Amino acid sequence: MVAVAAIVTMLSACSAAPSTPTVPSLPQASGGPSADASRGTDANPNGTTGDATAARRTALHNAAECIRQHGAPRYQDPVLTANGQVYTDARTLQDSIEESALDDLEAACGELIRAARFAPDDQAPAPPKVVQAGVKVAECMRANGLPNVKDPTADSPFTPGHGFGHSPDELPGGKDDAFMRAGDACKDLINELNRLSSLGNLGDA
């Protein structure tokens, strides 16, 4: 039973990554480096490249500290990559903040979030090593009874530490026999994907 539970947990983590951010929108940055120099947008500034300075890192820490003090005590500091992109602890924020508390969070932390030029509940595009690991998982799942699982790309939604999201037509329910067989066959690849997509490893992206 323990092994079965572990498989369900791994596959659930992989499938639970949302196709779009599920946390109601928090205040985000405006301005910053021009769009033609980055993949970032006004809707998701985390993909913007350019500013990887110590001052930006400090601003991200200050914003995260405010978020921790106002409803998400386990929210980790965002990861700032060498090219200026940002990855965040979106799952913890999603699990910690009720929609009714967002106004209070924005009032307390909105200025710091905008100063850090990031979206606390979004991600930069998945780096190549994470995409490659995700493709290996998808190939394994297709080879083991889940033919509808698609290969991820850099633009596929993912959750740090939990891999890529999948639509319901890609993955069946949690105790489906094919789901369980694929989880057992692919567990090492799933674990590697989750490891590579963790915040600690995304810092090396």
Q: Do 10 and 42 reside in the same domain of the chain? A: no
Taking only the tens place, the pLDDT of each residue in 63-116 is: 999 999 999 999 999 999 999 999 999 999 989 988 878 889 999 999 999 999
In a domain, 68, yes or no: yes
- Where in the sequence is the domain holding 108, given as residue range(s)? 35-116
Tell which of 84, 116, 148 closes a domain.
116
pLDDT of residue 6: 33
Domains of the chain: total:
2
Q: Do 131 and 194 reside in the same domain of the chain? A: yes
Tell which of 67, 85, 116 closes a domain.
116
In a domain, 25, yes or no: no
pTM of this prediction? 0.79
Instruction: Tell me how far apart the alpha carbons of residues 61 and 40 are, in angstroms, rounded to a whole number.
Output: 20
In a domain, 55, yes or no: yes
Cα dihedral across residues 75, 76, 77, 82: positive or negative? negative
- Report which of 61, 64, 73, 67 is spatially closest to residue 105, judged by C-alpha positions: 67
Among 52-61, 91-100, 133-142, the least confident range = 91-100
Q: Do 138 and 112 reside in the same domain of the chain? A: no
In a domain, 26, yes or no: no
In a domain, 40, yes or no: yes
pLDDT of residue 196: 96
- Report which of 81, 63, 74, 39 is spatially closest to residue 202, judged by C-alpha positions: 81
Q: Do 44 and 108 reside in the same domain of the chain? A: yes
pLDDT of residue 17: 44
- Report which of 185, 178, 135 is spatially closest to residue 158, judged by C-alpha positions: 135
**pLDDT band of 47, cuts 50, 70, 90:** very high
